[in-house]
Amino acid sequence: MSGNGSYQKNGGSYAAVPGDSNVANADNNTKSKWIKIGLAAAVLAAVGYFGYTSIGSHSTSTSPSALAAQSDDLSVTDDGSLKLFDKQNRYVLEDFDAKPTFSNFLPGVAGFFGKPVWSFYVNRGQGMASFGTQSKEYPILEFNAANKAYQVTPFIGFRSFVRGTRDLMGSSFETEPFSPATSRNLALENEDSTKLPKRIMYVGANEMEVQEFDTVNQLQVQAKYFVLPEEDFSSLVRRATYTNTGSTDLQLSILDGLAKMEPSGGMLDWSLKQMGRTLEGWMGVYHADDGLTMPFYKMSTEPGDSASVKIEKAGHYCLAFVETDGEDAAELLPIVFDTAKVFGQSTSLEHPAGLHASSVSDIVAGPQYGDAKTSSAFAAIESVTLKAGENITIATFYGKAEHVEEVPKIAKLVTQAGYVQSKFERARTLINELTAAVETNTANPLFNGVITQMFLDNSLRGGMPTILGNVDGDTNYDEDDSVKIFHAFSRIHGDLERDYNAFSIQPAYFSQGPGNYRDIAQNRRDDVTFLPKLGAYDVKMFLAYIQADGYEPLTVEAVAYMFEDQEETMALATKLTSDANSAEILKTILIGGAFRPGQLFELVDELQINITDTNEDFLNYVVAEAIDRPMAVYGSGYWADHWDYYLDLIEAYTAIYPDGVESLMFDTELRYFFSTATVKPRSDKYVLTYTFDGTSKHVLQLDSTYFDDDKVAEQEAFKDSSTGLIGIDANWQRTNEGQAFKSSPIAKLFLLGAIKFAMRDAYGMGIEYEGGRPGWNDAMNGLPGMVGSGMPETYEMYLTLEYVRDIVKQFKRPVVVPDELFKMITTVNGALDTLDASGYTDSEEMSFDVPEDLFNYWDIVAAARESYRNDVQYYFSGNETSIPAKTMVTMLDRWIAQTELGMERAMKMASTGDGDDGDTGIAPCYFSFDITKWKKNGGKNSVGLPTVNALAMTVGRFPLFLEGPVRYMKTIQDDKEKMKDMYQRVLTSGLRDEKLNMYFLSASLKGQSYDMGRMMAFSPGWLENQSIWTHMSFKYYLQLLRGQLYEEFFDEMRGGGMMPFMDPDVYGRSLMECSSFMASSAFPDPSMHGRGFLARLSGSTAEFMSMYKLMFLGPEPFFLNDSGDVEMKLVVALPEWLFEDEENAGTRDDDDNLTINFMLFGKIPVTYHKSVDGDLFGVNAKGYLIKMKDGSAVHVDGPSIPTDTAIAIRRVRSVESIDAYF
């Protein structure tokens, strides 16, 4: 390190090797060369405790806010405030620690060939509140729920303690940047803000930064955080920069790092919170060398009290150094890990009492102890002198290594010159590459940014679809077995506010984690829109998850790969390895069971297999030859809405591959998922119990499913004798002969529709919540107990039945179904015959008591459903019945007519609630059924309560819920007048929040029973009780766009209903990021109205991406012409203000036409040229210019692109660009 001081071992302590303190950066004079020089004891003794103290008169006249505005990345508005976004497109939050709290997270994306950490931050302290590996069970900085994180982050998180001296032996100060003691109080109008530091938070797509401008001490401090990309180890990287903003030399002594750092030692979250002091007995700090620069934090063993003891070898490391401009590697800084040396007896960690009584040099030179306590991780700068304008940046890496011997190797890599900056830049470009599929340039840069952020967050919840195997060809998943799809980066949406969810992000290549079924199904809706090579992958996977009983599992896991042929696998292993031993080991891995890419690479590394290709090529060769299998887990209970999202997936596929529908629906075979739970018949779950006040008895539907030990026994047949693991094929239902039973997608959709038709409630209105769980609104958790039903599922069933009928009618092909299902539908149709023969018709005034004829129909059909489920509980017989197309269409027409009758009844039955007398004309959402007559059947439930058979029922009604009209509008979206009417009714109903110009999730729930679910436990305006639930609101807005209510849609958008058009001061977080909900005007505290909670990873991102598709591509970009051939047309819904508005003149082509451009399929630049005035709502392009990569061009005069060119565009590879003219 020419011209720099470095730490060298000297007699058991660390002394400085003198460097040239006068050498400055020759380029820009912004980086200081740091050296060690001792601080005089007299100066140190004169300074008080760390808070915000200063001695001397060197403060500048420039205010902190003015100084902040001079930053290169910031822009200032006319009133002197900072603009909402900086030049890096990061959200700017002034005085972040004085604003209302919020939590957020870094994406946890380290690239396909990287190992991520998870990390959460808040707008308190230095931001970072918690981080670790895999899940909150493996923290490096302990996971705390948001309410606690807001309190403790400034104390247990990252801290900076600074001693400064200006003009040696002159004025001095001690300060802790970002200390809550020096936060501004924005409620004080007369506060002298010039004496308090200015603090700014920057929220980027893959980074977070906090910055403090301290004009009293003339010191600027900033800390940036990012997840280390594309390495075979995981790290959170922190770059803390200290800048001398004064006019004189500044000598600094610094401790910078974590106040509390947890060790590695198994699953710790529960233990940290329940037996934290005892747990410290296992803790220790070890070292990768004989110094202080590579501490290794780990338990001696994994804590426990069993006969099996596991020695802990893995540990957490902290590596810190000063970034330099030269070519030499940086020298590691000593780490202060002994918390007592820094904080002394200040166990609150409020101020560094230990450092106050000592100095950084003394602490580094003295003994430290890390046993039987939670330690710290502070990088130590004993002394550095910064000239005016100079800065010093401390880079620190926090991560996990499997063995202490790995730490020096990591240190050697990360200290290389330029390494940190290159990785920081790569973290930025990585996200740009992953979101390239929606790169969009309109006249509104904030809207462009929202598109990118929504796509990213949608991918984090649903997974980023990635092509593996045959990546170079132009065939898709359906055409080529060597094309494979893997969804990387997905995870369940657990975070500081969703503290109930157990998120998991594997620290492995192609990192991913499991997700909730409904989340994955919704957020993958438009995968094929952005990646046509995916084909029908998502449709096939989710339809395969349909079980014989009409339900689905709770959790979706990443696809796994497997091999079955020994000889072929050995040949492949030999081809991919350099020696016979490696080939044999690789063959054993591949043939040994299902694997994912991350697991494969871990085994290759652990078993030292010598591969002959790059990691990327190796993986593609392997998975190209492998069999792919979807993976899922039952979980708990059967949710009523999981199947609601299939038609969205099918419609998205059809919009790209209209020519593939027949083959997909009739010529594909899919398995049936086999869960270990069984739905009880009514006789076992209708339970007689006391009402909440104990004064009377009523019947509830309880414990609707049970864990079926006999199903578990069936799965035991697939246990591997060598590993003890259940094989992947155990998850798929078989015939009596042991073969996996399969049906076509159209047959599975019919099975689904038939079972749901047989699940209609006793009045034929809603679908019963008889599986123990409600639908989308899971806060209605009590509704299944109330024998409740939902209209949202009825509307989806109606659409499903229509789809099956229309497809069968179009292709005139029979549908082959299991014999067991045919038996059930025969009974259902017979019950309909009986109902028709009874002469029953609905009266004008609907009775709340269920009419006897309808009750009898319900009883027969429900019994048929239960009989069917009993028949297929463990096996299918394997026998099938082919239903002719004409028969199928006739039957479905009848079912659809019956469903329409039920929908009409529901509208008459209507809603009721506070201020709602049932005359709104808005589609209701829920009903309950009170069993008014019953007969004990001799059974008892698990706690001894008697079970009964229902003999009569009466209907219960609920207030309005937004989901009712949202789902209903899907059934009328082709009728613009009906759409307008329903929109106006909702707009003037109790679902409208007039203050916020948004829509409540529900109308007022005042007076409702607590039996309906946990939403009644919440204050109005909070969580699911009459709040603004962004996902359902976005579903509503999407329906406006689908129904071609363009003006209403964009009025709602720009009126504050969607990002980025909300009031930032009200919303309280980045305008590019969705919250799950906002506190509505129903909430008692008006200061909370409109604030966003539960950061990102919401289903609203899926709805937004569907809006994006409709705006820029139209509902059917590919369609079949009259001859049945594929053509392409672009029908847009783009308002004038996206081309130009009052703040942006937009861009123009050579003919002075306004233009917008975006990326089609992530590869093809598309430019829209607008030559007409006004909005482009539902407008076809009038011509196209398609440029090919071979230099040729296709000119199209007309609204549609002909077949050959349309197919070339869909295959992507040969097309250079598209220009469309309007």
Model confidence at 35, in pLDDT bands (50, 70, 90)? very low
Average pLDDT for 421-443: 96
Q: Which of 182-191, 413-422, 1133-1142, 1157-1166 has the lowest mean pLDDT?
A: 182-191
Confidence (pLDDT) at 723? 65
- 51 has a pLDDT exceeding 50: no
Average pLDDT over residues 480-499: 94
User: So what's the pLDDT on residue 741?
Assistant: 97
Residue 158: its pLDDT value, please? 98
* DSSP, residue by residue, 783-811: TGGGT-EEHHHHHHHHHHHHHHHHHHHHH
**With helix as H, strand as E and coil as C, how does 1000-1012 read?**
CCECCCCCCCHHH
Residue 1148 carries which DSSP code? E
Does the structure show a pLDDT above 70 at 832?
A: yes
4 confidence band (pLDDT: 50, 70, 90): very low
**Per-residue three-class SS string for 862-873:** HHHHHHHHHHCC
At 735 the pLDDT is 95
Burial-class residue 849 by CB neighbours within 10 Å (0-12, 13-18, 19+).
Answer: middle
More confident residue, 69 or 77: 77
Position 636 scores a pLDDT of 82
Structure tokens at 29: 């004079």
Report whether pLDDT(26) > 50.
no
Q: What is the pLDDT of residue 168?
A: 59
What would the pLDDT profile of 130-173 be if each residue is shown by its tens digit? 999 999 999 999 999 999 999 999 999 999 999 999 875 578 89
| Residue in 245, 243, 251, 241 with CA at minimum distance from that of residue 171 | 251
Asked if the model's pLDDT at residue 311 lies above 80, the reply is yes
- What pLDDT, on a 0 to 100 scale, did the predictor assign at position 25? 34
Burial bucket for residue 460 (CB in 10 Å: 0-12, 13-18, 19+): buried
Q: Does pLDDT of 645 surpass 60? A: yes
pLDDT exceeds 70 at position 862:
yes
pLDDT at 1110 over 70: yes
First to last CA, the chain: 62
Task: Calculate mean pLDDT across residues 805-826.
Answer: 98
3-state secondary structure 188-225: CCCCCHHHCCEEEEEECCCCEEEEEEECCCCEEEEEEE
If DSSP states are collapsed to H, E and C, what string results for 954-1000? EEEECCCECHHHHHHHHHCCCCHHHHHHHHHHHHCCCCEECCCCEEC
Confidence of residue 14 (pLDDT cuts 50, 70, 90): very low
Distance separating alpha carbons of residues 305 and 309, to the nearest angstrom = 8
pLDDT score for 47: 31
Over range 186-191, report the average pLDDT: 82
Task: Please state, in angstroms and rounded to a whole number, the distance separating the CA atoms of residues 323 and 850.
Answer: 76
Q: Which helix (H) or strand (E) holds 1180?
A: strand 1176-1180
Least confident residue range of 192-201, 531-540, 1016-1025, 1062-1071: 192-201
Per residue in 976-1034, pLDDT (tens digit) is 999 999 999 999 999 999 999 999 999 999 999 999 999 999 999 999 999 999 999 99
Helix axes 745-757, 885-909, angle to 10 degrees: 40
pLDDT of residue 714: 87
- Of 58-67, 306-315, 393-402, the one with minimum mean pLDDT is 58-67
Mean per-residue pLDDT, 202-226:
96
Two tokens, residue 645: 């999202």
* CB 989 within 8 Å of CB 1060: no
In terms of Cβ atoms closer than 10 Å to its own Cβ (0-12, 13-18, 19+), residue 921 is: middle
Question: How confident is the model at residue 15, as a pLDDT?
Answer: 28
What would the pLDDT profile of 1181-1218 be if each residue is shown by its tens digit? Answer: 999 999 999 999 999 999 999 999 999 999 999 999 99
Residue 28, pLDDT > 70, answer: no
User: How would residue 63 be classed by pLDDT, with cut points 50, 70 and 90?
Assistant: low
Under a CB-based contact definition with an 8 Å cutoff, are residues 688 and 697 in contact? Answer: yes
pLDDT band at 694 (very low <50, low <70, confident <90, very high): confident
Output the pLDDT for position 721. 66
Q: What average pLDDT does range 404-421 have in this prediction?
A: 97
Q: What is the pLDDT of residues 872-904, one digit of tens each?
A: 999 999 999 999 999 999 999 999 999 999 999
Query: Is the per-residue pLDDT at 1157 higher than 60?
Result: yes
Quote the mean pLDDT of the chain: 92
Whole-number pLDDT of residue 20: 32
Six token digits for residue 616: 């990327």
Q: Per-residue pLDDT tens for 912-961? A: 999 899 999 999 999 999 999 999 999 999 999 999 999 999 999 999 99
Residue 11 scores a pLDDT above 70: no
| Least confident window among 298-302, 855-859, 1166-1170 | 298-302
User: How far is it, in rounded angstroms, from Cα 581 to Cα 578?
Assistant: 9
As a whole-number percent, the residues of the chain with pLDDT over 90 amount to: 86
β-sheet bridge partners, residue 516: 555
Question: Given a cut of 60, is residue 24 above it in pLDDT?
Answer: no
